[in-house]
């Protein structure tokens, strides 16, 4: 086991609309080691982005962070201290979003955007040009070609690389990448992810890779959490989860992954993510679950260690590990 770098504990988030409170992230836990690539997988609306954004102090206005703690590099803060958590940004945590073209400010040249981050880090002015060129090279771009261009003049792949240059400018120990490749075509996607893993090794940087595509994540990650409807249903080492998926949802997800080497019948998952009210405690997968039983009414059980990783499901309650 490596050294723990980033940790989320018992994070719960609510939204309130029209007098009804809904829990959109429930009791979430997550731990990432230094230099690890960690996958966070779930359908859209499962709360994966929301929880990660809240963990760095960027919870959208209107969201209520009810409980939880976030630890990063030895510093622990309550999750409700969003302002304090934002302090981690530019001090070791960086983010990458899916819509890179929209993520770059449309009013500044790409070079200037990178320079802003350096200025924030108090890099003296004369040293900046060299460092910008260096960062552009790191992400595989040529400053002379692109540095004077505006985001609307470059391609989506280039924009994602510029965004990466911005993110790398603060020299982070953790990069949270929220579906960074969704807007890109398949070849660019592979290229970018390979490239991310390379940087990760070179700079000893950890990555939390948020994705809805399990097969994509499985190629690059060593750790994995599966989220469903705001709850982590299964977590642990990627190998172990793929070898023995336990939670009915994980089983469904893996059954839905096409495999070129061993073709099998793809089984689509029935139903969609739940948008339940707060006062309903029962397991949020129970309405789509083929193994539903009376005990599901009592809600999601705490983590049960089994088969080398952890699962949250009543099916495994009381069984020997």
Partner 1 sequence: MNMQGDRIVPLTASRPRPSRSWRKLYFGAFGGDPLGVVGVVLLAILLLTAIFGPFLVTHDPILTTPDVLLPPSAAHWLGTDHFGRDVFSRTITSLRIDFIVAGVGVSGAIVIGSLIGLICGYVGGWFDDLVMRLVDIIQSFPLILVAMILVLVLGPGVESIVIVTVLINIPLYARVIRGQALSKKSLEYIDAARCSGASEMSILFRHLLPNTVNPIVIHGSLNLAAAVGNVAVLSFLGIGIRPPTPDLGVMVAEGTNYLVQGAWWMSICPGLVLATTIFSLNLMGDALEARLDPRRGSE
Partner 2 sequence: MRLPPILVYVLRRLAIGLVVLFGISAVAFSMAYLLPSDPVTSRYPDITNEQRAEMRRQMGLDQPLVVQYARYMESVFRGEFGRSFGTGNSVVQDLAQRIPATLELASFGIAFGVLVGIPLGLVAAVRRGKPTDHLVRVVNIAIQSVPAFWLGVVLIFLLYFQWRLVPSPIGRLSPMFISPPPVTGFLTIDALLAGKPDIAFAALRQLMLPALVLGLGVVSPLARITRSAMGESLGEDYVTFGRALGLRPRQVVLGDAFRGALVPIVTTLGFVVANVLAGAAIVETVFAWPGIGRYAVTAITTSDMAPVSTCILLIASSVAVTNLIVDLSYALIDPRIRHEYAR
The candidate with the shortest Cα–Cα distance to 54, out of 22, 78, 23, 20, is: 78
- 268, interface contact from partner 1, partner 2, none, CB < 5-8 Å by kind: none
Residue 123's Cβ-count burial label (10 Å; 0-12, 13-18, 19+) is middle
Q: How far apart are CA 321 and CA 9, in angstroms?
A: 24
Q: Which of 89, 199, 255, 292 binds partner 1 (CB under 8 A)?
A: 292
102 or 308: CB nearest partner 2: 102
- 104, interface contact from partner 2, partner 1, none, CB < 5-8 Å by kind: partner 2
Q: Which of 219, 267, 272, 308 binds partner 1 (CB under 8 A)?
A: 272
17 binds partner 1 (CB under 8 A): yes
Q: What is the CA radius of gyration of the chain?
A: 20
Residues 28-57 that bind partner 2 (CB under 8 A): 56
- 153, interface contact from partner 1, partner 2, none, CB < 5-8 Å by kind: partner 2
The candidate with the shortest Cα–Cα distance to 31, out of 3, 4, 67, 69, is: 4
Instruction: Read off the DSSP letter of residue 89.
Output: B
The candidate with the shortest Cα–Cα distance to 176, out of 82, 72, 60, 62, is: 72
128 or 282: CB nearest partner 2: 128
268 binds partner 1 (CB under 8 A): no
Interface pattern 158-187 for partner 1 (x via CB under 8 A): ------------------------------
Helices assigned H by DSSP within the chain? 48-55, 82-86, 100-103, 110-120, 128-138, 143-146, 156-168, 186-203, 214-218, 238-243, 248-255
Q: How far apart are CA 180 and CA 172, in angstroms?
A: 17
CA 56 to chain centre: 12
Asked whether 167 and 95 are in contact (CB, 8 A), the reply is yes
152 binds partner 2 (CB under 8 A): yes
92 or 248: CB nearest partner 2: 92
Q: How far apart are CA 120 and CA 32, in angstroms?
A: 27
Interface pattern 58-97 for partner 2 (x via CB under 8 A): x--xx-----------------------x--xxx--xx-x
26 or 115: CB nearest partner 1: 26
Binding site for partner 1 (CB under 8 A): 17-20, 271-272, 274, 277, 279-280, 282, 286-287, 292, 297
Q: Which residues of the shown chain bind partner 2 in the complex (CB under 8 A)?
A: 56, 58, 61-62, 86, 89-91, 94-95, 97, 99, 102-107, 116-117, 120, 150, 152-153, 163, 166-167, 169-170
């Amino acid at each position: 086991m490596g050294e723990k770098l980033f940790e989320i504990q018992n994070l719960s988030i609510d939204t309130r609309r029209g007098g009804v409170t809904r829990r959109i992230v429930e009791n979430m836990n997550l731990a990432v080691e230094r230099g690890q690539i960690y996958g966070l997988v779930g359908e859209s609306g499962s709360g994966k982005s929301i929880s990660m954004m809240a963990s760095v102090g960027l919870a959208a206005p209107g969201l209520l962070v009810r409980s939880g703690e976030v630890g990063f590099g030895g510093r622990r803060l309550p999750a409700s201290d969003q302002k304090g958590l934002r302090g981690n940004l530019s001090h070791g945590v960086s983010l990458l979003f899916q819509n890179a073209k929209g993520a770059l400010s449309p009013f500044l040249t790409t070079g200037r955007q990178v320079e802003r981050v350096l200025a924030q880090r108090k890099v003296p002015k004369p040293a900046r040009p060299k460092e910008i060129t260096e960062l552009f090279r790191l992400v595989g771009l040529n400053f002379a070609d692109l540095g004077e261009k505006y985001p609307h003049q470059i391609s989506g792949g280039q924009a994602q690389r510029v965004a990466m240059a911005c993110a790398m400018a603060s020299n982070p120990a953790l990069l949270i990448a929220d579906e960074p490749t969704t807007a890109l075509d398949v070849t660019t996607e592979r290229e970018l992810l390979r490239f991310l893993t390379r940087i990760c090794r070179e700079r000893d940087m950890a990555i939390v890779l948020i994705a809805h595509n399990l097969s994509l994540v499985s190629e690059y990650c060593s750790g994995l959490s599966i989220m469903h409807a705001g709850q982590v249903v299964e977590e642990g080492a990627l190998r172990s989860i793929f070898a023995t998926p336990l939670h009915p949802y994980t089983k469904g997800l893996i059954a839905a992954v096409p495999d070129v080497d061993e073709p099998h019948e793809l089984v689509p998952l029935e139903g969609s993510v739940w948008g339940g009210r707060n006062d309903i405690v029962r397991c949020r997968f129970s309405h789509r679950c083929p193994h539903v039983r009376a005990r599901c009414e009592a809600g999601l059980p705490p983590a049960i260690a089994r088969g080398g990783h952890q699962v949250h499901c009543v099916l495994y309650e009381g069984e020997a590990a």
